[in-house]
Structure 1
Amino acid sequence: MIGPAWPRQLNRNHPHLLDAALATLVAGVGALPLVLRFGPDDGPEPTGADAVAAGIAFVLLLTRRRAPLTVLALAVLSLIVVTATSGDKTPILEVTAIITLYTVTRTASRRVGVIAALGTAASLYTIDAAAIGSLTDPGSLGAIAWTGMAASIGGAVRTWRDYLAATEERAIRAEATKEEEARRRVAEERLRIARELHDVIAHHIALINVQAGVASHMLRSQPDQADEALGHIREAGRTVLDELGSLLYVLRQSGEVVQPTEPVPGLSRLGHLLETLTAAGLRIQHRQVGQSRPVPLATDLAAYRIIQEGLTNAHKHGAGAARLLVDYRPDALRIEVRNAVHTRPSAAAGTGNGLTGMRERAHAVGGSLHAALEPDGTFHLDARLPLPDLPAERHAAAMETTG
């Protein structure tokens, strides 16, 4: 920071006190020769006009902040009147005009400041030249120099304050943008967590519900199968608790270095998912086209959740069987689930939360998802998730290997 801070603080907190001190100083210097009865050796003695000029200067400087242009005009007009009346220059009013010009250029627009500076310089030069009787006298030209200096300082101060104000505004805007971005990220994270919770809970609760029905039906007639169904219920309950614990661990430990070691669900766990659903009573015909290859983490998670939700819906609303196709294409991963339904699911109409979640997952990775109930009573789910491009030669080789 340039210069001490207390003058700026005083000017900001007590502007009228500073104006009173400045007006007293200028008026006091102007009235001092009149009080002490002395003057320059080769100049006229102080007169009553000097006292009037000191009083005018005091009043104008005291009120210059309220209406700078008006005070400047009054200062120049007073200078003209007093000079014309006394026949000599009145330095105190010239100083008042120059100080007021500084205030004008500091507070007004650049255009107004330039016009005021030119008008003041011309007026002071004309008054001094008329009082001295010479257009080229250094005293007359000095008025132009002092006027230009005051206007330059005022313009520089105004530019500096505008720069500080713009910088502060940009900082405030950046902070507001940062807070808005943080709120947006929080909203997105909440939506992601909601989708995760829905996928985890809906899948396993559906399995528990089905197995509970089987156990209730077989409890007396086939206790061995009922015990097996209860075992599946225990396994599904333990799995959903583990996955919920892993998900909530992230929320509880958001500020710590330690992270959960549970891997993110992906296509590598597809076999375990199919085994779980098969054990729950869903007959799955699984077919893979193309050679499996590493996929982006977000796409891997989205593919797993879409398959999980699609097969869970097939188990809940279907006739007990489903066909799953996982097709690794050069630039996309295609997932297709087909199953016959005995009741029309709400998701078929696009109103189910499960279908909405699957669509959002597909769109989040730049893909698409289409789900519809076919005329033959088959529910068809078709998702396409983009993958990094695979050269045609590698794709052909992968197709031959698969075939």
Structure 2
Amino acid sequence: MTIGVPKEIKRQEHRVALSPSAAYQLCRRGHRVVVERDAGVGAGYSNAEYEQAGAVLVSEASAVYAEARLLVKVKEPQPEEYPLLRPDLILFCYLHLAADRTLTEVLLRSGVTAIAYETVELHGRLPLLEPMSEIAGRMSVLVGGYYLARHHGGSGVLLGGVPGVLPGRVVVLGGGTAGVNAARMAQGLGADVTILEVDLERMRFLDITLHTAHTLYSNEAHLMDLLPSVDLLIGAVLVPGARAPRLIRRDMLRRMRPGSVLVDIAIDQGGCAETSRPTTHDDPVFVEEGVIHYCVTNMPAAYARTATQALTHVTYRYVEAIADFGLPEACQRHPGLLRGINIMAGRVTHPAVAEAHQMPYHPPPIHVDPDPYRPDAGTCRP
């Protein structure tokens, strides 16, 4: 199979979908890997490294799209790339379609088979989303602390405090992968950390593993009580494949102190605050109701080298399976991949995306036989 790797063109997106080592492994298996020139430069990978791995370098994205049967990207196609999509192409990348009706409609019209990293499942987990959630969670505390500085318009609170001065207060909405990584970073800095969560078993786990962080059942009353004293609020709520729930209304935000910071990690899925809107690394923040909002939709791109390595480590097995066996057999071997198919044959094939846009839902036309001896068994749901 021919696997294509275009250069990412989203603003300040420096990650690349395949590292040279992953390209090497695919070439060793007899596949053809076509890489757009300079696709890996932002992540520290030179053109020469891809050539040494056996990849073919081309100068135009159009050539990558034209030759590829399987197109592997990091972020969703941008408007300039829409005309390059075609019915016999398999697109494998982060899509976040529940928050983007326009892209959903473009993919439906193109006839492309669109597989979203963020909805591939393995034993109830989202293995292709987790490493980026880990990076975004850890990064949220770094950028939050940065924008709390007075010369950036913040309140001037140092999250860790100093002897004789209380530390800053961090509240994390959601105790999933992003939330727990945010809490660990904030705890490591010495901040006062509270995690709001609805899953009692998850709260028990957090209580045991995060020794100095507090857990609190997530509801509006508890959040309203916390907001007046919060310095850094981190939105890390995830509903797999669906639009993020709007937990923070504008009137609630007014309870926060001027100069406090909101980092909305959920912005890829629409954001968990009424006032959130997508931003870029070029212009990452804006102020609403006196609160600094950081809503960058591709946060891990800031640490492109680490993010690329973490991403390719988890995506490679699926890329290899699709290339070796084709999509139907790859789904048979890795049933969780079936949940990743969001668009196929001009139809919405993920229930959360269909619900978000009030579109008809059609299960992917791929049959998977349950096999209790397969490692991925049990992850496929109707």
TM over 0.5: no
Query: Normalized against structure 2, the TM-score is what?
Result: 0.21
Larger relative contact order (Cα-Cα within 8 Å, sequence gap ≥ 6): 2
Query: Normalized against structure 1, the TM-score is what?
Result: 0.20
Larger % of strand: which? Answer: 2
